[in-house]
Chain A
Amino acid sequence: MSDLQDSLRELYQEVIFDHNRNPRNYRPLPAASHHADGHNPLCGDQLTVYLQVEDGVVREASFVGHGCAISTASASLMTEAVKGKPVAEVEALFRDVHALLTEGREAADPARDFGKLEVLSGVKEFPARVKCATLAWHTLHNALVGEHETAHTE
């Protein structure tokens, strides 16, 4: 088996399939205080991220849209990861995940425990797919900073 085949299995793990088949928090959030759209025109991936923020804490997070397994699983894992976290922590997580996906583990806070999100780091071996994994996170960031322009990863 080639190295690439190994990398493929590292990326396409059961966690990814599970979250692709049954995305968590897959619904619009009528009570959302924040939301933003994301679009990756190259792949056609498209999603909307909804957040309900109260007293500086993300109480609820959800998304809807369509995309490849990587982008769907990334969005699903993200909604689970940010729920219940203070906004400042969510922003720090965004920066760390972004660093993890684009530059590697060394670039992220050494103290950061990525938990299930670690699986996403497998995209690093597939440069054409990094944007799929980061789309939801850019969209989350836009929702938080009130950027109503559609997030684009191209």
Chain B
Amino acid sequence: MNAPREPGVQTPILDLATDFPILARPVHGRRLAYLDNGATTQKPAAVIEAEARFYRESNANIHRGVHWLSQHATELYDGARATVQRFLNAARADEIVFTRGTTEAINLVAQSWGRPRLAAGDEILLSTMEHHSNIVPWQLVCEQTGAVLKVIAVHDNGELDMAAFEGLLGERTRLLAITHVSNALGTVNPVAEMTRRAHAVGAVVLVDGAQAVAHQAVDVQAIGCDFYAFSGHKLYGPTGIGALYGRAELLRHMPPWQGGGDMIRTVAFDNTTFAPPPQRFEAGTPNIAGAIALAAAIDYVQGVGLGRIHAHEQALLDYGTRALQDIPGVRLVGTAQDKAGILSFLVDGIHPHDLGTILDAEGVAIRAGHHCAMPLMTRFGIPGTARASLGLYNGLADLDALVAAIHKAQALFGTRGGTAPGKGRAA
């Protein structure tokens, strides 16, 4: 039931679902329409195989053994770092620190860059649309140092209030911590422009790239930011691995935030010296297999081409936006000009949680709730939204399944046509 295509509207170009074994698995007896890519993405066979192959053929600890396998594993791990470096276009491989994911990368910056440097009255600038993982680490560091948070407002359409941003920048601004793409609204923020403005007042800039890297090409040198964080599992890679990009001059002057093996140069009870970055920030045995499988995910994504992935997802976004807007009673939350493939919406008279349950029974996997962005939900005066988030393997059929399932929910709730009976609550 594809709607007739309007002239000038792009057509989805990728057909890669068969690369992802899990997508062949029916759910509740239905074809799975997996539209929860903002939470995590599915993994292509190439990634699953890379992780298995490491354990089958190459497993050993790294940086520790003179034996052949250890050297082999070390080479693969270092190679993975070089892959991430090229992926983000970082100038040097030692600007890439492996972490458990975005959350750990942001906490690393908060504790290792922020805590020793921030003082009472210093200002950390972030926005209303941040994920909790780009809010709470800064609240912790504020408690520890007396620094304060300043929050950039969001317009009704989900775009940042750039005038408010300009107004908040000042000589006390020490850090701008901003999401590249909003996980709840899909808004793509002008991070390069914001970085320039923040640098002009001497602030350091961290960009949360969790929702960006799988959907558009990212070049940290073109953005100009000082830190960039992302998670492997939202990039078709495994859970438990991600990376922090940090400019070499900053990383060099940051103390370790966790102690242990692999992060030291020499240890004595009266004096321990630390390894240079990135090892300084990777205490203990890292997620070696995860890093190698992350590199396989990057190879996969780059093999497809981020330009093509972006064009494909934009075409789906256009199609999905129109289709949802055509359903009476459906309201989109987040309609920024520059948007990634995220459709957050509300259906009159049906709470997002009920909708999520009903859609699930139709084989349509979406997320319902506050999306770890409670301040943003408060800003919009809603408890949460239903969110369909796109990935490279989605097609028009997934969006058609979403639309059909919403119609079913409206029929079940008796709210077809968008009227919510009895919305005025009688006692």
Contacts and interface: CB of A to CB of B under 8 A. Distances in A.
Most buried by A among B352, B368, B383: B383
Nearest to A11: B357
Contacts of B377: 44
B370 A44 contact: yes
A46 B370 CA distance: 13
A84 to B, nearest CB: 17
B361 A4 contact: yes
Contacts of A21: 421-422
Interface residues of A, number: 30
Contacts of A70: 353-354
A147 B426 CA distance: 29
A92 interface: no
Contacts of B384: 43-44
Contact of B361 (A5, A42, A128): A5
B412 interface: yes
Contacts of A87: none
Contacts of B350: 69
A128 B383 contact: no
B357 A126 contact: yes
A21 B349 CA distance: 9
Interface in B400-427: 412-414, 421-422, 425-427
Contacts of B354: 12, 68-70
Contacts of B327: none
A26 B427 contact: yes
Contact of B425 (A26, A42, A67): A26
Given A21-B421, A68-B354, A129-B357, A43 B369 contact: yes
A24 interface: yes
A68 B413 contact: no
Given A23-B425, A44-B369, A8 B357 contact: yes
Nearest to A43: B353
B379 interface: no
A33 interface: no
Interface in A1-24: 2-5, 8, 12, 17, 21-24
Given A2-B29, A4-B28, A68-B354, A17 B383 contact: no
Contact of A24 (B353, B369, B383, B427): B427
Given A24-B427, A126-B357, A2 B383 contact: no
Nearest to A129: B357
Contacts of B427: 23-27, 62
Interface in B379-408: 383-384
Contacts of A4: 28-29, 360-361
B28 A2 contact: yes
A45 interface: yes
B353 A46 contact: no
Nearest to B360: A4
Contacts of B370: 41, 44
A132 B361 contact: no
Interface string A16-59: 01000111111100000000000001111110000000000000
Contacts of B412: 12
A66 interface: yes
A44 B412 CA distance: 23
A62 B353 CA distance: 23
Interface string B22-33: 000000111000
Contacts of A41: 370, 374
B351 interface: yes
Interface in B249-282: none
A11 to B, nearest CB: 8
A99 B352 CA distance: 26
B422 A42 contact: no
Contacts of A43: 353, 368-369, 383-384
Contacts of B383: 43-46, 66-67
A43 B369 CA distance: 5
Interface in A124-146: 126, 128-129, 132
B145 to A, nearest CB: 27
Interface string B8-38: 0000000000000000000011100000000
22 contacts: A2-B30, A3-B28, A4-B360, A5-B28, A8-B358, A12-B358, A17-B413, A22-B422, A23-B425, A26-B425, A26-B426, A41-B370, A41-B374, A43-B353, A43-B368, A43-B369, A44-B369, A62-B427, A69-B354, A70-B354, A126-B357, A129-B353
Interface of B: 28-30, 350-354, 357-358, 360-361, 368-370, 374, 377, 383-384, 412-414, 421-422, 425-427
Given A17-B414, A45-B353, 9 more contacts: A5-B28, A8-B357, A21-B421, A22-B422, A26-B427, A43-B383, A67-B351, A68-B354, A70-B354
